[in-house]
Every structure is written in structure tokens, then in C-alpha cells.
Structure 1
Amino acid sequence: MSKLHVGYVREAIEERFGGLIDMSDQARLSEASRHQALLSRGLAALAAQIEHPCSDRVAASRVFDGQDDQGLDSIAVEVSTVRSRICLVQAKWSDQNKGAFGEAEVHKMFHGLELMLDRNFGRFNRRFQPFVPDIERAYETGTPKITLVLALMREAPLSDGVRELIRMKLAEQNQVEQMVEVKILDLRDFHRAILGDVAAPKIDAKVQLECFGQESTPYKAMYGTMTVPDLADLCEEHPRGLFARNIRDSLDESDVNLKIRRTLREEPEHFWYFSNGITMLCETVQPLGRALPGKVGHFQLTGVSVVNGAQTVSAIHRAFKEDPIAAQDGRVLVRLISLENCPPGFGDQVTTTTNTQNPIEERDFKSLDQGQLNLRDAFALKLNRIYVIKRGEAVPDPAHGCSITEAAEALAAASPNAQLAAVAKRDQNLAGLWEDDNYQQIFGAEPNVFRVWRCVELLRAVRAQLQDLREGLVWRADAAAFYGDLLVTHIVYRRLSTRSIEDPESDWPAELAKVPDLVRDTLSWVLNAIDEEYGTTSHIIAAVRNTERIERVVRAALRGLDSEKQAPPLNTDYQVAQAETRGRKINAVTTLVAARRIPDSTVLEYRPYSKPERREMAEWLAEDPRRTQATWSNEGGRYPLRWHADQEWYSPSGLARKMRHEAAGVDSSVQGTIRWFVPGEGSLDELALAVRLEQGNEPAES
């Protein structure tokens, strides 16, 4: 490809996004520099649009490139009850088709990801803030799948050093579960995207199916077995076009791919039985010569694309290259669906549906266990409640029962083995808990209905208290309260009197009454343990999902609780109330104005500080972007901010209070200096504190 193709992409970006992408922060740049910034942002919008199809206007609104973008340029969030997805894009435009992406960009990109995972949303700029509520909702549904997209206007592959650094960073993020992947979109992908299907290479191929069968109504399809060597050759010949409808370049070394390759190396004769097979869409499927069902058939395919089983094909290709002798005995089931005489959009339906069907899970087999059947009966007979054990059944109202999934979580948290709490947090489907050994540990051969229900009640009580606490927590404390629900439940359970938990006459409500105080103290000791054991920049997620780390945190927290010492106070940066108090200890405005720390006419950004604020103000702020900005003046005295929404002058705290009242009807005193930011530098509170420290002055009461 050439600069001609770069030109096609440039023209598409200018036409589609030129009037939609916010470029107001680039007003002082030269026209040429502004145009380059537009192309880079347009590339980020296009990349997010490729990963999450949407209108041009929506794609443009997803761009937050600029100061305090934290190494990321655009975002798309898809909240789902199955598994939510978050796409984060870093884009590099180049007129010469040489978009630079080095190790520094890798570090910035992953740093931004870590800030987002730690819920340190205040570090991101105003364009990012509207997406925070969706991100939090994605977190609430379980571990989201996070895709980091490198949108690069280039064709050359990344250097070995950069690719190795990405793999290392991915390994750090995925040490507990496969949560993060990296995808590379280059000139070919963008060229294909702007031209649509006509830009995708048309793949024609001849294939051989053993023991083939066919469907003729309502649409034509063939199915049969292909050999691993034949599939590997097909992938070798068409490494990109074969997956035009399905995947793009990925650095994700998934567990699925590794298992496929291992099977082909160690027991290739079993591969047909272990694999779900491959589905290919074809414009036409024509037999070559006489083809008798049940025999070997040869077929000419035009416009063929793998739409389901792309990982299988890629893994087959790689396994065959690594060990062709061992893998050559592998065989796999293949479906060839012809689009001849199909209605418009049928191919897209096939692609979507074949990739979203629910597979059989180990949990489904456990629902047949006699212990679960007995437990279901005991819930009805002894508790007059409902216990749901099969997927698809309606889950009862919390007061009227629970599901096998909730019971498994609660029992894992209450187990003497803290590692089971970590196993439960690794996967939202609790896949690790359904493994036979873990399942036996948490349920046992004959689970006691009173113990199961009371553990569920305890988990619910802990979660409710943590949810209440989170209203006043930010950053790492908020993350610990959210991700650490099972960890906290485990410690609380060990501090309660549970010897008679299986006794129907036990005074369990008296034990539950202890939960609120225990949760508050436990959370403080847990966060203190994580910070001391692994540092204040460590991942909260790792501490609650890694079996070794969770045991160390539990031991340290229990030592603190058993010592009967007062629970360590949370860092002031972790608490909304403490941050408000800290912000009032110095007169930030007076300090900043006296030092002329902020130049006149600097545009500041408002960023909601707490979870309640984000919940209450997100839509209101998004309705009018002017509400998020104010201009600074050193001549304004106590009222240095001129709000863009009404052009009136305010103090930072007065304006923050007014904004929350207008947005949500809440009229309460707030500290504006921790909410108004100088982009790229920090909040007014942080800047004022830095000035006083430079001057050798300790923060004093104002």
C-alpha cells in the first residue's frame, strides 16, 4: 500500500469527523498542527467505531485526546449482563505511513489503564468524565473484557522490543485472568473500514471435506471434516483476508489458543472431539466433480471468510508450523454456509449469532448433583424459600431465596481456605469454583441448608455495608471496597461466632448485627495490609484474585483486628470527607493568586470527585460542555473563576456548590479546589499545596 491509500483515509476522516470532533483545546496551534491533531483524533474515532460500530457523531464524541488523556485517545464502553467490554484507543497518525509507537507510548497506555482500574478517574480530562458512569456500570457486572487498540497509520510491524514490552505488560495485567488484550489496527484495516466490504480481499479457495453432508433448505450449506494440514495451508495462503469478517491482528496469547495447540501436539487424534468446529461464510459453494454425501467431496469456494472458530484456525496454523508431524493427524468439523439466495444481512446474523451462543459450563453439570437437588428441597421445606440451580431459571427476589451461584460465592468467602475467595473473584461465572476439588470444599457431600443460607445473608450484609461506605470513598479505597467484597466477607466470617451456624435455633441475627462495624474496620485493615505488603501503587485486583496475595493480606488484616488496636485511618486521599477537610486547611485561592501560579485566562476543568457526584451530575454536565469549564483570573480576588455556562464570577467552592445544586438539587458545602483542575498540572488544591511547600510553609488553617 502507499501514500495514495493514506490519502483515502485522510479524506474519509476529514469528511466524516471534520465538523464533529471537539478541537477547541487546539485553538492556539497553527492551522497545520490543528489539522494533524484532527487526523490523529479522527483515527482514534475510526478505531473505536471499528471495534464498536456506531454513527460518526457518536464515534467523535468518544474522543478525549488532549491534556490529561493519560496516554489514551478514545473510548467505547459496552455494558452487558454477560461480559461488559471496554475499548481504549491510542492513535498515531502519519502522512508518511510511519505512525510512531515506541516503548514510551506503551508505558503511557498501560499507566492510563491502571489509573482507570484503580478508579482514579479524577486524573483524566473533562472529555473522559462522561464515560465514568458507564465504566463503573461495566465494573459492576463483573470483570470486563478490556481491549487496548493501537490505531497506527503505518504498515510496518512494531519492533521486537515494543512487542515484547506489550507482552510483558499484558502478562502483568492478566496474571489472574485473561482481562486485557491488545489489538493493532494499521493502514490496511482503516482502508478496509472506510471502503467497506469491497476493500476486503476476496478469498477464493478449494477445500476437501471428508464424510460431508449438506443442507439445501432454506439455504445451502455443506459440512464435514477437514484435516489440520489443509486448514494450516489455507491460513498460510490467506493470513489476513480469511478473517476479514471476524478478527484483526492481536497480541493476545489466550488460554484457548494455548490449549488448542497443546491438544494438537499431544493428542491430535482427539482434536475433532474436543473442538466446537469452524464456520465459514462463502459467496458461493460449488462441488468439483461428482460429490456423494458421506464420501470425500471437493468444493470451490468464492468469497470465503471464517466467522466462527478464527482462534481455532489461527492456533491450528501455528501448531502445524511448530510441529507438523504431530499435528498432521488432527481433524476438525467445518461448516460452509453459502450466501447464495440468502436475504440481505443474513451473513451478519450468522456471524453475530455463532459468536454469542452460550456454551455448556461446568456449573450446568453441578446442577445435576444430588447434593444440589437435596439443597433445593431443603430450601423449600425448611426455609420456605427458593433455591435456583439451573441456568435460565428466574432468580428469586433476595428475600425469597438465592441461586447456586450466589451460594457458591458466599460459601467460598466463608471457607477456611482464603484462596477460594480469590478463585471466585477471577471469573464472573465462577468457573474455578465448579472444578471438582473446589466444589467439594465449598459445598461438601451434604450441604447444610442453614449454613448455606446464613452465609448468603452474611455476604449480602457485607456487600450492603461496603456499598454504603463507597459513597464516601475514592480511588484505592473505593476499589478495595468494590473488588474486595469476598475478601472482607472471609475476614468478617472468621471474626463472628459461627460454631452453631448449622443449628436452626442459632441466634444468627445477633451475629449479623456485628457486620457494619466489622466491615468498616476490616476494610481499613485490608487496605493498610495491601499498601504495606505490596505498595500504594499495587493493583487492588491482584490482591483479591491472586491466591498467594490474598492469604498474606488476610493474615495481616487478622493480626490487626486481633491486636484490638484501633483500625488505621484511611489515607486522606481515599476519603471524600477527609479530602474536603484537607482542602480547607489552606486558602488555595489566596495562595495561588499571590504566587501568580496560574496565568490569567487559563481554562480550568471541573471533574466530579465522588461517586454520588458522578451519579448525580454526569448527564447534566454532558448536556452542556460549557458547564465543565471556567476561566481563571488573578484579578478576581475571592472569585477567580468565570464560569463558561453563564459568564459570571465565582469562588471554586461556591461554583462547585451551585453546580451540584443545579444538577441534582443537593445544596451542601463542598470544597471546589479539589474539583477544579488545571489540565496537565493538577487540582487547585494540589497546586496550592505545592506552592506552600516550595515556599517552606506548612499548610495552615485559613
Structure 2
Amino acid sequence: MSEVAYPVQIRNLKRQLKLRFRPLIDMSDWAGRPDEEQCFLSRAVAALAVKLETAASDEDAARAVIDGTTDRGIDAVAVEQRGDRQHITLVQAKWNDKGEAGFGEADVSAVMRGLDYLLDLDFSRFGSKIDRHAAEIDAALNSPSPKVTLVLALVTGSDLHPNTRALLEEEVDKHNLDDDLVDYKILNLRDLNREILGDHAERKVNLDVQLDGAGKITEPFLAYYGTISAGEVADWYGKYGRHLTARNIRDALDLSDVNEKIRTTLIREPEYFWYLSNGITLICDRIRKHGRGSPVAGRLAGFRLEGASVINGAQTVSAIYRAVQQKPGKAAAGRLLIRIISLEDSPEDFGDRITVAANTQNPTEERDFRSRRPEQADLRHEFALSLGLNYVIKRGESDPPEAEGCTMTEAALALAAVKSTEFTAIAKGNASALWKNQYYRSLFTEKLTAHRVWRCVQLLRRVRKALAEEQEHLAGRAASVAAYGDLLLTHVLFRTMDTSDIDADDADASAAWEVRLAEVRERVRKALGWLVIVIDGAYGVNSHISTTVRSPDRVELVANALYERVLSGDEPPSGSLPLLHQETGISATSAPRAVWRIVDAGLIPDGESLEFRPVTAPERRQLPRWLEEDSNRARATWQNNKNKPLIWHADGEAYAPSTLVRKMRREAMGNDQQIQGTLYWHVPGKGSLVDIAQEIRDSPEIQDS
């Protein structure tokens, strides 16, 4: 793209961003500021990037924007299910009127800090706009094999400086260790213009195709089929990009697991690609003879497809393009099947019918092949005959109620958790890997009994239930450990249990296991406190819990250290799990309460605005919608009064922080639990009242002022 094109590109982009997103993006926090338009355009670019990378509507993309003074380098966030993985898209957007948006090493550091806070589920570090996404992010990061993509949406025609890119890749690699948790993608001015014009000026695609071994269907509608080279498909995508899939239900998602498998096959074994690929389907307005060959069955034939669109195989096309870019000579030699259907004489809605039908067939996964193995059928029969329970082995069947059985997938997770630290980490990082032959055969052996499977499943369920109950009243790093530690704790608890009768089918064994399982709740409470200490001691208080539980080496070290402490049955040190009703960092017996410290220091002026931030996982699930119903519920004004410093905007009354939070929780959640209200109320840019009180305590200069 030449510099001469930038003014036109910028004007078009700016006009469309305003047209589509001005009514949708919240600018209330920036209203009246001199740089309001620049801020809006940056937020609109972030929303556009969300649309480009996900299936979001304009409204949802605008709601994904969390940009503000405390966004920590993350301007938008979106969560969606892709296949069997939860994907989190994090966007950093940069607008520039000249098309010269920069992104340097300092920006890399800011974005990576924001990523770190999210991985630790430390949502209080961000502005309040993230609260409406917090529950989804929490659930996604705790899913079996999440994926996080950092998207840099930069209004520029230039590439990143090599030093910046090297630093970005280095930082991304630090978060992956033994898996592919984090990836990044760069969108430039060209990509953004393609996306913004797509809905308003759809580009007509005319393709010249050389079809080998052509076959023809004439009734009821004209269609051809045959084989085409990967190189030719890559050329299409390079020329037309996403316009090539304009009629598809969903665009090509370049970071999917399917794409990675396609690319790998083309790069390593292009000669096998025809056998391993499902091929692609195109529809077009008209098919005309063009170029070499004639449309005779079995021969090389050339066609021109007018108004062509790939309606099935968008991921295949995108992946082929990436593979050919990476290994031009080798990957281009691959071949694949293709169907071409003309709509020239078809009914008006026939193209839509083809598109829907081609995209709603369920793909076969490796798990599906395992469900056909004889040992799975044997387990299903044994579950029914020996336990009177259901063991569901096929996708599409309804999951049984917990008291009535389990699925093959749940069994695999439970067996992996108790198998070894390596399997525990693999199951947490990428659960679908358990269906690979080298792992599957170690889990589902010929000697595996239904009683062993069911008892392992019950143990995992008890651990997860206990952790969920603990997380209800935990905050910060302890809550993060409770969120991510299910498989690791299951592994350690299993190692400390008497499992000599795990395969026994007699009544005594069943009774003994009921007793052991009943002890899990209390054992998890103790183990969780030790787990926080062990991880912090081994890797530091700033280490990523989510990374630790997915790394085989780290899981082994942590599990071995935790095993000794759990086996002893000792209570963890007091304070290892900070509860919400405790004054974090401030002892009630040795120092005044947080509010008193702040008032005495005069650190918050009268009239300062504060915002409410949920702290626990249940609050992040239940409170955001209640707060959005009336924005005044999330705001308060400070007055330097030691007893009632908060004037709540919802009713104009003055409250103590804890009294107000309890009132809000009663109204929104029906919960009247004792809590520490100073954790919930934040001064934007400065932190919670607890943070501010801690700053006073740690700074003699403030105390003496």
C-alpha cells in the first residue's frame, strides 16, 4: 500500500467507523474532552477488530470495548466457543489520522501486563467496563484448553519494527511453556478497510479455475467437480482475501485448531493432502468456459466463475494460503477436491440452502473414533450392570444427571488427573490431546473397571464442588488458585488416599469410598491454602497460576511439594487464604480501619467519584447486569467522614463501605454475607480503598503530611 493511498483510506475508514459505531460505543467517560473524537475512533477500531476476528454483531462488538484510563493495554475483549475450545480475543487498538499508528516496546509491556492480570483473574486492575465480561473470561480460562489471541489493530500501513516484534514474540512464548495458550495477530490499515467495506461495498469475485479430472452434473442445476492445486487456491485468497468467503455463514478463523492441522499437513506431507482434506465448495452466479481445456468429463478444464464465493471450506482456504506463504514450493504442490455449483438457473434461495447445509454437518473428531472402541462399550455395559449407572460415550447423547452416571469425556479428565502429573497438566492445557493414541491407551486400559472410573469421577466432582464453594469467599490470587487448581488438587488428594480397593465391587469397599469422599471438602480447604504457598514459594507471587497448572514440569514440582503437606494433615498458616471479611494487609487489632487511615491522611478529597467493582466469581456472574440496569448503582461520591464516607448515587444516602455492599448484594443476589466493603469501592486510576489505605501504611511521607 503506497503512502498516496492513505488519505483516501483514512477518510473512508473514519466515515464508516462513525456511521456504524458512533451510536453504539459508550463515550460517557470521555464526553467533552478535547481528544474525544480520537478516543472514539480508537475504540471503534477496537470494535471493528472484534468483528473481524469473531462472529460478533456491531452491537456486541461495541459492548466488547473496555478502553479507558485503566484498561491496562486491553481496549476490547470477546469470548466465544470455537470447536471444542474457548477463545478469548484481546484487542489493543491504535488510531492515527495519517495512517501512521505506532506500536513500540512500551506498548508490548503494557499489553502483556494486562494479559497477566487477566490470566490471574485480577479484574480489579481494569476499569469497570470489564466487569460485564469477567464471568465469561473466568469460565473460558478455566475450561479444558483455552486459547487467548492478542490482536493489535493498528491504523498504519507499516510493519512492526523488528525489535518490537521480537519482544512481542518473546513475551508470548513465556506464557506458553508446554502449550499454545497465547498467540498474537496484527491487523493493519488494509485489513481494517477490507472489513469496513465488506458490509457496504461487497466486492464481486470472478475466479479463473483450472480443474483436473473434471466431472459434470447438469440436472437439475449445473455443477462441476474435480481436483485443484493448493497453489491456485492460495492465489485466490491472496488476491481477494475475505471477499472470497462473502456468502459463507462464518468467515475463516485463521487461528483455529483445524487451520493448524491443515497447514501442518500441507507443509510436511503435501502429497497426502488430497486424502486428508474434505475439500471446498463454491457457488457462483455463472460458470463460463475459459482458458485451457474443455469441460469434458475426466479432463483438464478451464472455467471462469462469475460472482464466486467459498461457502464451505473457508478455514481450508485460509490455511492453504498461510501454508503456501510459509513453504511456497512444497505446500503449493498439494491438491484438493472442489465442487462448483452454478446458481444461474436455480431458485432464488437455493444458494442459501446449499450454504446452510454445507456448514451444519458435524465434523468428526478424534474422540468420536475412540467412542467406537470395544473397551468403551465394555465400560458402558459394566456401568449399567455393576453400578446401575449410565456411561455416555457418543457426542449428541444427553449428559446423564450427576447421580446417574458420567460421560466418556468426564471419565478421561478424571483418569488423567489421577494418572500422573504429566497427564494432569496435559488434561488442563488441552483436553482433546487425551484422545491421541499415546495418551488414550494409557488411560483406558484393558483392566480398567467401571468402579475405578466412577470413583475417580466422583473424586474430581467433589474437588471441583469444594473449590467452587471456597471461591465464593476468596479474592485475588487465592481465588485464581481455586479457579485453576481442580485437576492438580485431585491428583494430590488421590495420591494421599487409600486406593487399594478402588476396583473392588463389594459393599465394604463402597462404604469405605463414601467415607473418603465425604472427607474431600475439608481436605480441599487445607490443601488450597498450602497450594497458594507452594506456588508462590516456587515461582513467585507474580507467577501465572494458569500457566503453572498446564506445565508438566511445574505441576510435578508443585504436586510433590504439596503432597507432603497434605499427607501431614496440618493446617496451612493463618492468612494463606485471605477472606473477604478480613482487612487485607491491615490488622484490625494493630491499626485503624482502612477508611480511618484514608480520612486521617486526607488522600481522597471530598466529592471524588468512586466506582463499584465485583470481587468474587459469583458477584461477577450476578452483579454486572443488575448494575447496568441503573448506572447509579455502581457509583458513589466520597466524603471525609470516618463512619459513612460513601454517598450512593442510587439513593443519595450515606453509607459505610461494608454496609453499602451488603445492601447491594441483598438486593441483587439475596446474599447477606459479611464482607470487606473497602475491597469493592475503587477510585479510578488509584485502586480500591484497601489499596489506598495500604499505600498510606507503606508510605511514611503520606502519614506525616
Task: Give the structure-1-normalised TM-score.
Answer: 0.89
Structure 2 counterpart of 1:359: 363
Structure 1 counterpart of 2:460: 459
1:623 aligns with 2:617: no
Question: How far apart are the structure 1 equivalents of 2:462 and 2:226?
Answer: 54
Sort the Cα spacing of 1:401 and 1:143 in 2 relative to 1 into closer, same or farther, 3 A.
same
1:213 aligns with 2:215: yes
Structure 2 counterpart of 1:601: 607
Letter in 1 for 2:11: G
1:390 aligns with 2:398: no
User: How far did 1:587 drift?
Assistant: 2.6
Contact 2:415 2:456 in 1 (8 A): yes
Letter in 2 for 1:418: T
State the superposition RMSD in angstroms. 3.3
Structure 2 counterpart of 1:35: 37
Question: How far apart are the structure 1 equivalents of 2:563 and 2:617?
Answer: 29
> Secondary structure of the residue that 2:452 maps to in structure 1?
helix
> Which moves more between the two structures, 207-216 or 195-204?
195-204
- Cα deviations by residue, 1:430-465 (Å, 9 ceiling, x for unpaired): 322222232222221132222122112222222221
Contact 2:383 2:389 in 1 (8 A): yes
In the alignment, structure 1 segments of 5+ residues that lack a partner are none
> Secondary structure of the residue that 2:610 maps to in structure 1?
strand
Sort the Cα spacing of 1:84 and 1:250 in 2 relative to 1 into closer, same or farther, 3 A.
closer
Letter in 2 for 1:544: V
Sort the Cα spacing of 1:583 and 1:59 in 2 relative to 1 into closer, same or farther, 3 A.
farther
1:149 aligns with 2:155: no
1:672 to 671, 677, 681: 677
Letter in 2 for 1:365: F
Structure 1 counterpart of 2:28: 24
1:293 aligns with 2:297: yes
Sort the Cα spacing of 1:178 and 1:210 in 2 relative to 1 into closer, same or farther, 3 A.
same
Sort the Cα spacing of 1:104 and 1:409 in 2 relative to 1 into closer, same or farther, 3 A.
same
Question: How far apart are the structure 1 equivalents of 2:685 and 2:39?
Answer: 17
User: How far did 1:272 drift?
Assistant: 1.1
Structure 2 counterpart of 1:121: 123
Question: How far apart are the structure 1 equivalents of 2:89 and 2:359?
Answer: 18
> Secondary structure of the residue that 2:480 maps to in structure 1?
helix
Structure 2 counterpart of 1:404: 408
- Cα deviations by residue, 1:208-238 (Å, 9 ceiling, x for unpaired): 1112234456654432111244334445555
> Which moves more between the two structures, 42-51 or 602-611?
42-51
Question: How far apart are the structure 2 equivalents of 1:537 and 1:454?
Answer: 36
Contact 2:67 2:75 in 1 (8 A): yes
Structure 1 counterpart of 2:421: 418
> Secondary structure of the residue that 1:13 maps to in structure 2?
helix
Contact 1:674 1:685 in 2 (8 A): yes
Structure 2 counterpart of 1:3: 7
> Which moves more between the two structures, 460-469 or 9-18?
9-18
Sort the Cα spacing of 1:218 and 1:514 in 2 relative to 1 into closer, same or farther, 3 A.
farther
Structure 2 counterpart of 1:485: 486
Letter in 2 for 1:633: Q
Contact 2:128 2:611 in 1 (8 A): yes
1:216-615 pair list within 5 angstroms: 216=218, 220-235=222-237, 237-238=239-240, 242=244, 260=262, 263-264=265-266, 266-288=268-290, 290-310=294-314, 312-313=316-317, 316-317=320-321, 320=324, 326-327=330-331, 329-340=333-344, 357-415=361-419, 417-427=420-430, 430-505=431-506, 506=509, 507-563=512-568, 565-569=570-574, 571=576, 574-579=578-583, 582=586, 586-615=592-621
Question: How far apart are the structure 1 equivalents of 2:151 and 2:604?
Answer: 35
1:182-201 pair list within 5 angstroms: 182-197=184-199, 199-201=201-203
Question: How far apart are the structure 2 equivalents of 1:212 and 1:334?
Answer: 10
Question: How far apart are the structure 2 equivalents of 1:346 and 1:697?
Answer: 73
> Secondary structure of the residue that 2:225 maps to in structure 1?
strand
1:73 to 69, 72, 75: 75
User: How far did 1:607 drift?
Assistant: 0.5
Sort the Cα spacing of 1:384 and 1:640 in 2 relative to 1 into closer, same or farther, 3 A.
closer
- Cα deviations by residue, 1:60-99 (Å, 9 ceiling, x for unpaired): 3332211221111223333689443433222211111112
User: How far did 1:41 drift?
Assistant: 2.0
Contact 1:640 1:651 in 2 (8 A): yes
In the alignment, structure 2 segments of 5+ residues that lack a partner are none
Question: How far apart are the structure 2 equivalents of 1:90 and 1:352?
Answer: 34
Letter in 1 for 2:169: R
Letter in 1 for 2:424: A
Question: How far apart are the structure 1 equivalents of 2:325 and 2:11?
Answer: 37
- Cα deviations by residue, 1:168-210 (Å, 9 ceiling, x for unpaired): 3333334444444433333334333443355454432311111
> Secondary structure of the residue that 2:607 maps to in structure 1?
coil
Task: Give the structure-2-normalised TM-score.
Answer: 0.88
- Cα deviations by residue, 1:110-145 (Å, 9 ceiling, x for unpaired): 322221221111212112212223333444654444
User: How far did 1:656 drift?
Assistant: 2.0
Structure 2 counterpart of 1:647: 652
Question: How far apart are the structure 2 equivalents of 1:218 and 1:479?
Answer: 60
Sort the Cα spacing of 1:205 and 1:461 in 2 relative to 1 into closer, same or farther, 3 A.
same
Sort the Cα spacing of 1:311 and 1:607 in 2 relative to 1 into closer, same or farther, 3 A.
same
Contact 1:167 1:251 in 2 (8 A): no
> Secondary structure of the residue that 1:24 maps to in structure 2?
coil
User: How far did 1:356 drift?
Assistant: 6.3
Sort the Cα spacing of 1:632 and 1:27 in 2 relative to 1 into closer, same or farther, 3 A.
farther
Sort the Cα spacing of 1:23 and 1:312 in 2 relative to 1 into closer, same or farther, 3 A.
closer
Letter in 2 for 1:102: G
User: How far did 1:403 drift?
Assistant: 1.6
User: How far did 1:678 drift?
Assistant: 1.0
Letter in 2 for 1:10: K
> Secondary structure of the residue that 1:472 maps to in structure 2?
coil
Letter in 1 for 2:665: R
Sort the Cα spacing of 1:568 and 1:222 in 2 relative to 1 into closer, same or farther, 3 A.
farther
Sort the Cα spacing of 1:148 and 1:323 in 2 relative to 1 into closer, same or farther, 3 A.
closer
> Secondary structure of the residue that 1:98 maps to in structure 2?
coil
Structure 1 counterpart of 2:690: 685
Contact 1:604 1:677 in 2 (8 A): yes
Sort the Cα spacing of 1:167 and 1:565 in 2 relative to 1 into closer, same or farther, 3 A.
same
> Secondary structure of the residue that 1:209 maps to in structure 2?
strand
Give the aligned length: 691
Structure 1 counterpart of 2:104: 102
Contact 2:252 2:315 in 1 (8 A): no
User: How far did 1:362 drift?
Assistant: 2.4
1:88 aligns with 2:119: no
Question: How far apart are the structure 1 equivalents of 2:353 and 2:689?
Answer: 52
Question: How far apart are the structure 1 equivalents of 2:66 and 2:610?
Answer: 16
Question: How far apart are the structure 2 equivalents of 1:266 and 1:511?
Answer: 50
Question: How far apart are the structure 2 equivalents of 1:491 and 1:356?
Answer: 42
> Secondary structure of the residue that 1:301 maps to in structure 2?
strand
> Secondary structure of the residue that 1:292 maps to in structure 2?
coil
> Which moves more between the two structures, 135-144 or 508-517?
135-144
Question: How far apart are the structure 2 equivalents of 1:611 and 1:255?
Answer: 29
Question: How far apart are the structure 1 equivalents of 2:230 and 2:20?
Answer: 44
Letter in 2 for 1:433: L
Letter in 2 for 1:125: G
User: How far did 1:313 drift?
Assistant: 4.2
Sort the Cα spacing of 1:389 and 1:619 in 2 relative to 1 into closer, same or farther, 3 A.
same
Letter in 1 for 2:271: E
Contact 1:561 1:567 in 2 (8 A): no
